[in-house]
Structure 1
Amino acid sequence: MKSDSWSKSISVAIEGILYAVKSERNLKIHILISIAVLIIALFLNITPLEYIILAITITLVISFELFNTAIEKITDAIFKERCEEAKRIKDIAAGAVLMAAFGAVYIGYFTVFKRLKDNTHLLLKDTPDFSEHVAIVSIAIVVFLVVLIKSYFNKGEPLHGGMPSGHAAVSFSVLVSVIFISKNFVLNVLVLLLSLLISISRVQMKVHTVGEVIFGGALGAFTTFILYKIFS
């Protein structure tokens, strides 16, 4: 049934993603590879256009995997017994994912791995300053980690409860990025206050427990901090 509110629609969509991540091993692998590629790409200082292409490619591969999972569930619901038609439907859907994966490998080679091969002498101390890029990539990686952890604990709804708090994770990830980028004490204090208010509101609304909020905040802050220490 169609959701009657925008927030509920998002919650239902995220719930579908969490279910797919929990039940499909290939989707877990795709997400882990995506995190690795995003981190490797930071070392290589690829252009914004290349990063956009890379992000679109990752999104398409994961989306195709989600569509494949949905088609498999529909097929199983329609065909109660094993039959050739059901097998063909699943094979074609899997073929679509395979084609997307081949395209992702092709794009990844020219945007990441070819440059990695051509710059094997690259050292951490020679890595250029790209604090803004780290901030954006950190949020993406934190969201991926939250999805993986939520799928493991399987508690609460995507936007309502569960371990960890995604709101706290993202807000404290932003806080750490602001600290590294701005180096402005007043701005840092203001963003810290905002992050605390977001986290406290999740507890006061009884959406999350104190432990879930603390874990989420620590996850976002620690992940972003590590990325900045590596790449800054």
Structure 2
Amino acid sequence: MKSDSWWKSLGYAIEGVIYAVRKERNLRIHIILAVLVLFVALFFKLKSWEYIILAITISLVIAAELFNTAIEYIIDFICKEKCNEVKHIKDVAAGAVLTTAFGAIFVGYFVLFDKIKEYTSFALKRLPDLPSHLAVMSLVITVLLVVILKAIFGKGEPLHGGMPSGHAAVAFSILVSTIYITKNITEIILVFLLAILVSQSRVQLGIHNKKEVIIGGLLGSVTTYLLYNIFLGG
């Protein structure tokens, strides 16, 4: 079924990419992130070799996801029943995508981090010095709001299950306080990653669904942000 026309082969390849993007959520996420990275890169004076490295890295991640998708389609077509061998094949293919994704993060860190740090440091330094106890008060108020909302919805314990996620609320409250107190981009990124991992673990453990975690994160972030701004306004 191989096409004799190079032009038709190109069309089939493009059709395959479009089909995969339409059907696979993870591939759409990779492409959106790639667009964002390239957009952010335009604001910095990158050298030609840095653009080349970014382009190669992005291409590898997307290609790995396409290969993973193709392998999944083949396995699903051949094996109609679930078995451990099929699971292992899919897990290994997904592991290839994960490896390239971590590689992309590593490359992005060294290519863009210093430039992002220089760009954001000035804005962070302009934030006023605030008493650290405001972070504790924000945390306490966030937890109280979580308890009130869980009482209203009638599900879950203060920090276990129900609407909203208390862990996500606390994690993102700490993140906002970190932004105001430390004004250090490295620490902010690390705390942000930790907040994401905390939230993701609640979903993976089946304690919360995505909606409960997202609302919890928004509750903690917005509450803490408003308290800091009220304090500044006073």
TM-score under structure 1 length normalisation? 0.51
- Number of equivalenced pairs: 123
Please give the alpha-carbon distance, in whole angstroms, between the structure 1 residues aligned to 2:41 and 2:122.
Answer: 13
Aligned residue in 1 for 2:88: 88
Alignment of 1:79-158 (within 5 A): 79-120=79-120
Q: Following superposition, which runs of at least 4 residues in structure 1 exceed 6 angstroms of deviation? A: none
Amino acid at match of 1:107: V
Aligned residue in 2 for 1:197: none
Please give the alpha-carbon distance, in whole angstroms, between the structure 2 residues aligned to 1:39 and 1:122.
Answer: 21
Larger Rg: 2
Aligned residue in 2 for 1:40: 40
Alignment of 1:129-208 (within 5 A): none
Please give the alpha-carbon distance, in whole angstroms, between the structure 1 residues aligned to 2:121 and 2:78.
Answer: 56
Aligned residue in 2 for 1:76: 76
Query: What is the Cα deviation at residue 114 of structure 1?
Result: 3.0
Between 1 and 2, higher relative CO (CA 8 Å, sep ≥ 6) is seen in 1
Change (3 A) 1:61 1:22: same
Change (3 A) 1:51 1:122: farther
Query: What is the Cα deviation at residue 121 of structure 1?
Result: 5.5
Aligned residue in 2 for 1:205: none
RMSD: 1.4
Please give the alpha-carbon distance, in whole angstroms, between the structure 1 residues aligned to 2:117 and 2:6.
Answer: 45
Change (3 A) 1:85 1:98: same
TM-score under structure 2 length normalisation? 0.51
Please give the alpha-carbon distance, in whole angstroms, between the structure 1 residues aligned to 2:25 and 2:46.
Answer: 30
Q: Which runs of 5+ in 1 are unaligned?
A: 124-232
Amino acid at match of 1:18: I
Aligned residue in 2 for 1:64: 64
Please give the alpha-carbon distance, in whole angstroms, between the structure 2 residues aligned to 1:122 and 1:85.
Answer: 54
Query: What is the Cα deviation at residue 118 of structure 1?
Result: 2.6
Describe the superposition over 1:97-148 as per-residue Cα deviations: whole angstroms up to 9, x where unpaired: 000000000000111133211332689xxxxxxxxxxxxxxxxxxxxxxxxx
Identity %: 60
Please give the alpha-carbon distance, in whole angstroms, between the structure 1 residues aligned to 2:114 and 2:87.
Answer: 38
